Amino acid sequence: MKLLVCVSKTPDTTTKIAFTDGGAQLDTNGVQYIMNPYDEWYALVRALELKEAAGGTVTIINVGPAANDQVIRKGLAIGADEAVRIDADPKSALYVAKQIAAYAQKENFDMVLLGKESIDYNGSEVGAMIAELLDQPFISYASKMEISGNTATISRDIEGGTEIVELDTPFVLSASKGLAEQRIPNMRGIMMAKRKPLKVEAAVEAPDMSTTVGFELPPAKSAVKLVDPEDMNELVRLLHEEAKVI
């Protein structure tokens, strides 16, 4: 099976977020970047498992600048066969989706896997857009996938339960927790990754259709109030009068 996994670069989960330019730009000073965990832990690892079980290739793709190469290399160290970076600023979800779809169109993949969302912009958009652009079905929030021949049986997380879907390749799938388990790359993988191809391709034309004009941080958290465990009435009063949740 020929598999394409989309990987994005996001700030580490412990990053303290700050903005510059009057709120228009993320302050990248001292920010540590990681591969979006939904991509790394679930989409990529499940793709590798499919390849290990039935043969095939796993290609990872990222839309971004050369500074993303380290994150891409990690994907190769975990086990992807090759990588493609579309050399462009990922300006918006539609822009990213158009780049990935254009590449996928050329290469005829059996499946495109992505994370259910990026943990920075939380758009949950790119997957659906790629599917639309490729005119393929899109299965979102997949927490389990079994393959037999060309047919996939996929469990999707839905509110309060699970939906089970069956469909044939090709399709686009977004991964949520449960689809696979994180793999830490080992030293051998890291060394092999050095020799695996990382192709850089030019972006296709795609107009900017939206611009970020600003970001706002959530209101600062107020101090924690400790309530004596014996004093239930005070707890109820606080929840009612101050937190206004009951």
Q: Give contact residues for ligand FAD (rule: CB under 6 A).
A: 6-8, 36, 38-39, 61-64, 89-93, 96, 114-115, 117-118, 121-127, 210, 212
Residue 49 interacting partner from another protein, ligand FAD, none (CB closer than 5 to 8 Å by kind): none
194 binds another protein (CB under 8 A): yes
Q: Which does 89 bind (CB under 5 to 8 A by kind): ligand FAD, another protein, none?
A: ligand FAD
How far, in Å, CA of 206 to CA of 217, rounded?
Answer: 30
> Binding of another protein at residue 187 (CB under 8 A)?
yes
Rounded to 5 degrees, φ, ψ at 51 are: -65, -45
CB 113 within 8 A of CB 43: yes
Angle at 241 between CA 237 and CA 242, to 5 degrees: 105
Q: How far apart are the first and last CA of the chain?
A: 53
* Residue 49 lies near another protein (rule: CB under 8 A): no
> How far is it, in rounded angstroms, from Cα 240 to Cα 233?
10
Contact 14, 37 (CB under 8 A): no
- Residue 186 contact among another protein, ligand FAD, none, beta carbon within 5 to 8 Å by kind: another protein
Residues 6+ apart with CB under 8 A from 11: 17, 26, 31, 32, 33, 34, 120
Nearer to another protein, 155 or 176 (CB): 176
Q: Residue 172 binds which one of ligand FAD, another protein, none, with CB within 5 to 8 A depending on kind?
A: none
- Distance of closest approach, residue 95 Cβ to ligand FAD, in angstroms: 7
Contact residues toward another protein (CB under 8 A) are: 13-14, 37, 41, 69-70, 73-74, 77, 117, 119, 122, 177, 184-188, 190-191, 193-194
